[in-house]
Amino acid sequence: MSQSLFSQSWYRVAALRPRLRRHAEIHRQSFRGEIWYVLQDHQTGRFHRLSPSANLILCLMDGRRTLQDIWERAARRNEDDPPTQDDTIRLISQLHGSDLLQGDLPPDLAELAERAESTARRTLMARVKNPLALRFALFDPDAILDRLAPFYRPIFSLWGLAVWLAVVIAGLVVAALHWGELTGDVANQMLSAQNVALMLCLYPVIKALHETGHAVAAKAWGGEVHEVGMMLLVLFPAPYVDASSSAAFPSKWQRMMVAAAGIFVELFLAGAAAIVWALAEPGLVRAAAFNVMVIGSISTLVFNGNPLLRFDGYYIFADLIEIPNLGSRSNRYFFYLIERYVLKIEGTKSPVTANGERPWMLFYAVSAFVYRTTVSIAIASFIATQYFVFGVMLALLALVGTVVSPLVKGIRFILSDPKLNGRRRLAMTVTGAAGLAAFAILFVIPLPYTTMAQGVVWVPDDTQIRTRTDGILTNLLVQPGRDTQAGEALAKLEDPSLDSRVAVLQAQLAELRLRYDAARLGDRVQAQILQEQITSTQEILRVYSERQAGLTVRTEHAGRLIVPGAVDLPGRYLRRGERIGYVLTADDPVVRVVVPQTDVDLIRNRTQGVAARLAERPEEVRVGAIRREVPGAQQEIPSLALATQGGGTIAVDASNPQKPIALQSIFVFDVQLAGGLPFNVLGERVYVRFDHGSEPVAWRVLRSLRQVFLSQFRV
Amino acid sequence: MSEPLIALAPSQIAPAEAAWRLPQARAYTERKPLKPDRLDQAVAQVVGLVRAGLAGVSARRYGRIAHDALAQAQAIDALSDATLRERVRGLAGRLRGCTTFRDADITDAFALIREVSGRVSGQRHYGVQMMGAAALLDGRIAQMATGEGKTLTATLAAGTAALAGLPVHVVTVNDYLAERDAELMRPLYAALGLTVGVIKEKQELAERAQAYSCNITYCTNKDLAFDYLRDRIALGQRASDVRLKLESLYTAVNRLGQLRLRGLYFAIVDEADSVLIDEARTPLIISAQAGSQFADDVLSRAMEIAKTLASPRDYAIEASEHRVVFTEAGRARIADLVSGDGAAWRGRVVREGLVRQALSALHLFHRDEHYILRDGKIVIVDANTGRVMPDRTWSDGLHQMVEHKEGCALSSARTTLARMTYQRFFRRYARLSGMTGTTRGVAAEFWTVYRLPVVRIPTHRPLKRAHLPDEMLTDEAEKWKRVTQRIAELHARGCPVLVGTRSVGASARASAYLTGAGLPHTVLSAAQDNAEASIVSEAGQLGRITVATNMAGRGTDIKLGPGVAERGGLHVIMVERQDARRIDDQLAGRSGRQGEPGCFQAILSLDDPLLAGGLIKSGAARRIMALLGHERGQAFGCRLLRFAQFRTERLHARMRADLLRSDQMQDRILAFAGHSE
């Protein structure tokens, strides 16, 4: 749009004699070396940022001068860049829209009513659109805070800072000293049912103190706090305080301090809690202290301190880099860039008002969008897993908010915005091409599609050589690594007690036989007893002899003898059934791969090739093929190496120490690698890639979405 | 946006000495402005499309009314004059008694008015005219083929509404038509006991108030809208019904006494598409004299700078939107050039505005096309009609810049006092209706903007107009050769020919070619006076050749002379496509009226102004046409031109929508400043 000094609507306002209403207050602030004026509306608690020329116009409005007069004066004062009439009209109408103007015309009641109605509708729409952050105002704490001022004002001093620093540093030191203890099993501890209950009790208290921090800081420097309320943040109640009056503070450090006060409070609590935790005996107090520590430090810094979310961190950050309205202006700047450089619209207005804002804005616009989108989708899916209908609604709402509505707005802009008149074809070409490219990447261009899984080198059970009796292994009869014949003796065990036992038994048997001979003729009854004893002893002796024979370990198949840790073996006492080694033929070792349920269908039906890397030699890729698959799901995992504790990917039930049981059903595949496996990597981890050919991305997303619905919601 | 129509502010207003009449129930009735939100707007768009599709269906009810009215004809025919008058008075009483028109009452009213008309002037309304009138009473656009007697149709609706006590405004496109129609129908209205007023240019307030106080007022859209605008100035802010009435109680000189109109009750808009759609983009402004905004030397310096700038590098001319856009390089260059030029040039907005106006004056506004020089003054020429508009000026210093360019004395600038558009104005009528020959492509817009559904009224007699296939020629010269040849052919047969052009310039060219070929002809300058109308009405005589723009003599019947019908009736040749297909139809509708024979033919060229700035340049189009051979080349050329026309239609529709939207947005932004007039 071409800019002109004069406006065709000027005649409508030229004769007005407006005046700023009394409750408005103007504050002078400096951003990036430039002076701005902030108009504070005490009635609504809103702020308007004014440029110096707008401020001049505002100051000239005294209820006696006409707007024509005011504009002429302002233009004369600013000859280099006079405010245009349109600018002036916009300013006036904004002020009017915020009820900050008093004019010589009586108020138009119909218009007032309409405006009130539209404001109410907007508020309602904002709630409907954002049901994850509903606010309910409760009361006005200003008077109470005034009365309590003597108690908290001293905190905002050097002494206060010193105490704060002392506690926080002490807490840090304590935490560092007990680092191992603290981080031992945080996840498990934090998420146990008992602890969640404790946290639910502590959280509101800590957050209430956090909000008190904001309120008190705002009051300490002369601000006002008129609203305390309850916010349903992701359906979880959290207190909030309206400390926005701090925006009027002239010093950015004060503004930042008010925004940061909550975090300061929580860090202080965390520091104190760390000390208590270190001193207290195990019990409720210690557990509570631990929770306070975690909430007050980690959760606060990650959540409140994060500038990408619209919480405290955002305001601190915006004040720190002196870019007010960072969020909305960044977005505008981003669209400005598109309009200016992609669509080539001449005369678009850049929202940049000072040097050095550009990189910040660009960076913020992109990262905040990505981050917020991710978080909102994550939150929605988390809630969806808990409450299906509600969650799906939320997820849809999040989808509408983050994807659909910007898309619709963009399309409407391209199709009908008057800014694009004359350039619409270019705009359509550019967006069409971009859309087509996105479509092609998503739906048309096949990209390599693979599934990654982990497995272990595995040998069949019958190739294992196990002892058949307890004993000390004296020596291996066949050198490990050598080929053996079926039935060949491999190792010799020794069990001295067994030998003596056999000797004793043999002696007993001889004695019994002699006694039997003696008694046979005389005492028949006695002889009968002895006969029984002989049979029994013979039986025992047979068993022991067999055991004795078992001391010589033999193989049943021909193959190569593999004995892991062969050097340590001689002299070791082995229990019955313990594994000595393997007798393997070349194609015996396979890779036993474990995959979660979500991937099993793909691997079964669409595997076109398998490749594997051994954890020991990751540089070497080996080709393989699926040799066997276990048709049913199972919970047992073949090797602890595959569990998360062992560095794998399968989560196991920690409460069952005997057997590694996967939390979710798993499926097992045996993969035979071409060229076989060396025998020295048995039990080792293998990374396996199943190749499914190529497929466009969108279909995969759809498939996994369907799986999510199937598994989470059983629909 | 079209150039605004500007009228001067009224001088001191004397209190009107209107005859005493019954006080109105509401002072200055008008419909509250629609304040549609986005949803309403979206719904209206859909409904508009649906309604546009149903234009033919809703005519059935009106058919029944017409049928019933005609059924009464014999009974009424037998009545004596006195009884007839009695019946009319009785009907008036009944009509006044109710707030809506009931079908039975309408039927009676139509039957009576038809009979009165028959006895007064011998013209009895046809059934289709009654259908049209019923649609008008219902607040709709009656789409009636040209030559179906719209003037007479209007009498039924106007008469019925006036009998019901509503002040009726019959809106025509020019003074001549308003006066002619009013005089033509005055006896009929008089016989019904109704008074008729006519609004003409140069009438004073009292005269106007007098005319508007009649039961039925014939006026032009321009006069009507400006009178309303002046009334709004007189009313000022806070002119609610109660305030006005109270005021009239305690002061002798009150606002109510200074008004022209009585309010906006019922309007019948003739040529509704032209008034409500084509002219919708024209802002109406009432202005007062003000001192010049810029000194002479500033203007000349701006001109100087403008002449040093070069087109693709420093600025671009957007022909379709008639504006100049600077490039970054151009902005920098201007800043560079004026660096030593003093205070007036320091502001970026100011200097760029000045240079932009200078560039517009140099490159966008041409003498004898956009304006002419008369007595050392710039007089603006209306781009649509070719009429000169002595009371118009351009705004924002452009007028002064053009004066400077032509070396005229600088006129003083004007400041706006009130401003509105036809879109806003006609939407304020409590009951709006219209008649038009064609609504092709704008039926939906009638609904979305004015909430006017379109009803297609069948023709009285079947149409006997022949459409010859369009001819597409490669360039302008070829086209004129073909046109003159064709006209000579027809002329030799004695067939009357009407040549329809788009602009006054094209009319002049046509005249030159015809003179060259030795063909006697008449050229119409769209002066829109009595003489012009009579020339148009003579265009149907044997062997006549008439060259006219599409607007010339609009609303005038071209009656066929004796012996013409046997020779195939009036032959209309279109030499340029109009801005909208609808206007093409209007031109075609000049022939074949009321079942007479007629012929329409378009002889076009690739140099048509519509193709300028299109997708395919005329040079490329010529080559493609040559490649495709004769038959397919013709088809291609015609399609290309149709497409260009479609694009123009769409562009204009969008500009109208934008204007309305920005108007509404302005209103919202400026709510604190009271209403805009």
Measured CB to CB, residues of chain B less than 8 Å from chain A are 35, 237-238, 283, 293, 318, 320-321, 323-328, 343, 346-350, 352-353, 356, 395-396, 415-419, 654, 658, 666, 669-674, 676
Question: Got the DSSP string for B228-268?
Answer: HHHHHHHH-S---HHHHHHHHHH-SS-GGGG-S--B--EEE
Q: How many CB atoms lie within 10 A of CB B415?
A: 19
What's the pLDDT tens digit per position in A422-467?
677 788 888 889 889 988 888 888 888 888 888 888 877 777 888 8
CA distance A642 to A469: 31
Q: Which two tokens stand for residue B116?
A: 């009165």
- The amino acid at B181: D
State the nearest Cα–Cα gap between B244 and chain A, in angstroms.
16
pLDDT of A394 higher than 80: no
Within 10 Å of residue A620's Cβ, how many Cβ atoms?
Answer: 9
Q: Which residues of chain B have a CB within 8 Å of the CB of A89?
A: 669-670
Polymer length in residues for chain A: 715
In the sheet where B388-389 sits, what is the strand order? B371-374, B377-381, B388-389
Q: What is the mean pLDDT of chain A?
A: 83
Rounded CA separation B256/B21 (Å): 13
Distance, in Å, from the CA atom of B628 to the CA atom of B605, rounded to the nearest integer, reads 16
Strand segments, DSSP code E, in A261-354 are none
DSSP E strands in A302-437: the ranges are none
CA B249 from chain center: how many Å?
40
pLDDT at B356: 86
**Phi, psi for residue A635 in degrees, rounded to 5:** -105, -25
Nearest to A346 among B327, B343, B346 (CB): B327
Domains of chain B: 28-251+261-287+422-456 (3.40.50.300), 293-409 (3.90.1440.10), 464-605 (3.40.50.300)
Query: Which among A267, A140, A129 is positioned nearest to A210, based on CA atoms?
Result: A267
List of residues 6+ apart from B297 with CB closer than 8 A: none
Classified by CATH at the fold level, domain A452-460+584-713 comes out as: Elongation Factor Tu (Ef-tu); domain 3 (2.40.30)
Which among B290, B286, B603 is positioned nearest to B471, based on CA atoms? B603
Task: Choose between A175 and A635: higher pLDDT.
Answer: A175
Residue that wins the pLDDT comparison between A570 and B153:
B153
Residues A223, A149 contacting (CB under 8 angstroms): no
Distance from the B282 Cα atom to the nearest Cα atom in chain A, whole angstroms: 14
- Confidence at residue B153, expressed as pLDDT on a 0 to 100 scale: 92
End-to-end CA distance of chain B: 19
A6: three-class secondary structure by DSSP: coil
In degrees, rounded to 5, the angle at the alpha carbon of residue B299 between the alpha carbons of residues B297 and B303 is: 115
Contact in structure between A635 and A665 (CB atoms under 8 Å): yes
What does each C-alpha distance from A310 to A207, A232, A307, A315, B229 come to in angstroms? 16, 15, 7, 8, 51
* Tokens of residue B173, six digits: 């496109």
Average pLDDT for runs of 10 along chain B of length 677? 58 44 70 72 83 77 90 89 90 85 90 92 90 92 85 92 92 86 92 92 86 92 90 79 81 78 91 86 77 72 84 78 80 81 72 84 82 80 64 76 83 76 88 89 87 88 85 87 91 89 82 89 69 76 84 71 84 88 85 84 86 71 83 86 87 82 78 68
Bridge-based pairing of strands B377-381 and B464-467 is unpaired
Element (H, E) at B496: none
Fold of A10-122: Outer Surface Protein A; domain 3 (3.90.930)
Specify whether the CB–CB gap between A662 and A635 falls below 8 A.
yes
**Which one, of B670, B613, B580, lies nearest residue B280 by Cα?**
B580
Report d(CA A548, CA A506) in Å as an integer. 13
In the structure, what pLDDT confidence band is assigned to residue A53 with cuts at 50, 70 and 90? Answer: confident
Q: How far apart are CA A581 and CA A559, in angstroms?
A: 12
Alpha helix stretches (DSSP H) within A612-656: none
Q: What is the pLDDT of residue B381?
A: 74
Instruction: Tell me the domain boundaries of chain A.
Output: 10-122, 130-320, 337-445, 452-460+584-713, 462-581
Q: What is the DSSP secondary-structure string of A15-69?
A: T---EE-TTEEEEEEEETTEEEEEEEETTTTEEEEE-HHHHHHHHH-BSSS-HHH
Neighbouring C-alpha atoms within 13 Å toward the C-beta of A162: 4
Q: How far apart are CA B145 and CA B459, in angstroms?
A: 6
From the list A696, A705, A702, the residue with the least C-alpha distance to A439 is A696
- Residue B531's alpha-carbon distances to B58, B180, B515, in angstroms, are 40, 12, 22
What is residue B676's predicted lDDT score, i.e. its pLDDT?
62
B292-346 per-position pLDDT tens digit: 566 777 888 888 888 888 877 888 887 666 778 888 888 888 888 877 777 667 7
Rounded CA-CA distance B616/B238 in Å is 55
Q: Say yes or no: ipTM exceeds 0.85.
A: no
Cα A487 from Cα A556, distance rounded (Å)? 5
Q: Which two tokens stand for residue A151?
A: 């108690």
Amino acid, single-letter form, for residue A149: A
Residue A234 has pLDDT above 80, yes or no: no
Two tokens at A271?
């520091």
List C-alpha distances in Å: B32 to B28, B232, B425.
Answer: 12, 14, 11
Site of tokens 């509408």 = A400
Burial (Cβ within 10 Å: 0-12, 13-18, ≥19) of residue B630: exposed
Q: Is residue A129 within 8 Å of A405, Cβ to Cβ? A: no
The pLDDT score that the predictor gives to residue A714 is 60
CA distance A191 to A235: 19
Residue in chain A closest to B415 (alpha carbons) equals: A11
Residues of A within an 8 Å Cβ radius of B? 2-6, 8-13, 16, 79-82, 84, 89-90, 92-93, 96, 101, 103, 105-106, 108, 111, 114-115, 346-347, 416, 418, 421-422
- Answer yes or no: is pLDDT of A237 > 50: yes
Q: What is the pLDDT of residue B374?
A: 77
Q: What is the CA radius of gyration of chain B?
A: 27
Asked if residues B112 and B88 have their Cβ atoms less than 8 Å apart, the reply is yes
pLDDT per residue as tens digits for the range A101-146: 887 766 677 778 888 888 888 888 887 777 767 888 898 998 999 9
**Of the partner residues A9, A347, A422, the one whose CB lies closest to the CB of residue B670:** A9
Q: Note whether B64 and B71 are within 8 A (CB).
A: no
pLDDT at A165 over 90: yes
Rg, Å, chain A Cα set = 40
CB contact burial B328-367 (16+ within 10 A = b; e otherwise): eebbebbeebbeeeeebbbbbbbbbbbbbbbbbbbebbee
Task: Look at A66-70, A165-169, A653-657, B184-188 and tell me which has the smallest mean pLDDT.
Answer: A653-657
Which tokens sit at B96? 């006044």
Are the C-beta atoms of residues B18 and B214 closer than 8 Å to each other?
no
- B416 CB neighbours in chain A (<8 A) are 8, 10-11
Cβ–Cβ below 8 Å for B350 and A101 = no
| CB-CB under 8 Å, A13 with B673 | yes
Return the pLDDT at A619.
83
Between A168-177, A653-662, B531-540, the lowest mean confidence (pLDDT) is in: A653-662
pLDDT at residue B16, as a whole number: 41
What tokens appear for A3 in the block? 């800019």
**CA B282, CA B439: separation in Å to the nearest integer?**
20
Q: E strand or H helix at B647, and its extent?
A: helix B618-669
Q: What is the DSSP letter of B430?
A: S
Please name the residues in contact with A652: beta carbons below 8 A apart, sequence gap of 6 or more: A637, A643, A644, A645, A660, A661, A662, A663
Which H/E stretch holds residue A562?
strand A559-562
What is the spatial distance between Cα B277 and Cα B15, in angstroms, rounded to a whole number? 36
Provide the pLDDT for residue A122: 87
Residues of B whose CB is below 8 A from A409: none
CA distances to A112, A569, A714, B676 from A108, in Å:
6, 101, 58, 14
Q: Which residues on neighbouring strands pair with residue A629, listed in sequence order?
A: A669
Q: What are phi and psi of B88, to 5 degrees?
A: -60, -45
pLDDT tens-digit profile of B595-650? 788 899 999 888 887 877 666 677 778 888 888 888 888 888 888 888 888 888 88
> Cα torsion for B133, B136, B138, B142, to the nearest 10°?
100
Among candidates B346, B347, B673 on the partner chain, residue whose Cβ is nearest the Cβ of A16: B673
Q: Which of A8, A10, A85, A111 should be substituted to probe chain B, the one whose Cβ sees the most B Cβ atoms within 10 Å?
A: A8
List Cα–Cα distances, A545 to A379, A472, A539, A540, A551, in angstroms.
69, 17, 10, 9, 10
With an 8 Å Cβ cutoff, are A346 and B349 in contact?
A: no
Q: Which helix (H) or strand (E) holds B22?
A: none
Residue owning tokens 């190792």: A491
d(CA A155, CA A163): 9
Among B20, B147, B79, B155, residue whose Cα is nearest residue B461: B147
A1 has pLDDT over 50: no
Contacts of B417 in chain A (CB under 8 A): 11
